[in-house]
Amino acid sequence: MKALVTGATGFVGGALARRLRANGAEVTGIGRNTEVGTKLEAQGIRFVRADIADAEAIREACRDQDIVFHSAALASPWGRPADFYASNVTGTENVIRGCMDQQVGRLVYVSTPSIYFEHKDRLNVKEDDPLPARPVTEYARTKLQAEQAIDRAHHDGLPVITIRPRAIFGPGDTTILPRLIDRLQSGRLPVIGDARNESDMTYIDNVVDALLLCAESPDSTLGKKYNITNGQPVRMWEMIKKLTAELGIPYPKRQVPYWVVDGIAGGMEIAYSLIPGQPEPPLTRYSVAVICRSTTLDISAARRDLGYEPRVSIEEGFERFVKWWKDTHQ
């Protein structure tokens, strides 16, 4: 099998590219980080340095591919709308055109459950549940627009399947747990709200499993979207307490009501949006809500249609992450 992975220098794309190569596939990875790309090449993965917004480069990369996995995205709670649009919408449209022009056998798209998110608790969300009237971030807005482009492409005949993995973590993570650790180490993060909120997370190997299942799933799954999680909701602040204990970081002593921190974060967003370059504030309303609102997803469709079952538990995944963090950061 010849497989193209966009975002191969990122967390998900890199893990997928390495697994595909280990399974014997002929893999091409697209990314912008040449240092990581060199490491991929050393593992037998052909690396193409290209921006996902470069239509011709993407079209050429799709040539002679049996399958394309599109995981490249700008994922952040903060940033310029134009940057999100270029990466997440224009980039996805370029991948779609490349797949259609080069007659790729199947496209597997990595979307996000951020499109479900509201500033309130949401439990057991299904793929077809009503979406918020207004996406909470530019990332969520543009990923939803990208899904709409995927839907149009499927209507036009492109074989495509979409997954929405939530809160991906594990060795190599540069976003979720590292951002949290940074806030904890700074001593600026209090316990927010009642500390009883539950959230779904997904270990990286389980996400890769889901992507590989999508590569071989029956035609009846094409055009559909699938939630992917570990199926083990965790108490967020209990997980944070365990993380601080494992890494020797003081657990926050202060406990502050959600509405207070939400208000502070909103004020920071306004203030930082007025600074030239609009740097990311220390707190955003989205990042605050993520760690103090409950969000869980229903993964019964992925279990039924894809045969998906999380192989690595939250507990084992957490242990692997902690060991990797200690080995690489301490």
Let me know the angle formed at the C-alpha of 177 by 150 and 75, rounded to the nearest 5 degrees: 25
Of the residues 116, 139, 203, 286, only one is catalytic, namely 139
Write the burial class of residue 234 (CB in 10 Å: 0-12 exposed, 13-18 middle, 19+ buried): buried
Positive or negative: CA dihedral 79, 163, 175, 30? negative
Positive or negative: CA dihedral 290, 295, 298, 299? positive
Let me know the angle formed at the C-alpha of 280 by 275 and 281, rounded to the nearest 5 degrees: 85
| CA distance linking residue 159 with residue 177, whole number of Å | 34
Token pair listed for 314: 């939250």
Q: What is the per-residue DSSP string for 2-22?
A: EEEEETTTSHHHHHHHHHHHH
Give the residue from 40, 1, 22 showing the smallest Cα distance to 216: 1
- By residue count, the chain amounts to 330
| CA distance linking residue 264 with residue 284, whole number of Å | 9
Give bridge partners of residue 30 from the DSSP assignment.
6, 48
| CA distance linking residue 301 with residue 292, whole number of Å | 27
Positive or negative: CA dihedral 21, 110, 139, 257? negative
The reply to whether 139 belongs to the active site is yes
195 CA to centre of own chain: 24
Read off φ and ψ for residue 65, nearest 5 degrees. -90, 140
Q: Which residues are catalytically annotated?
A: 139
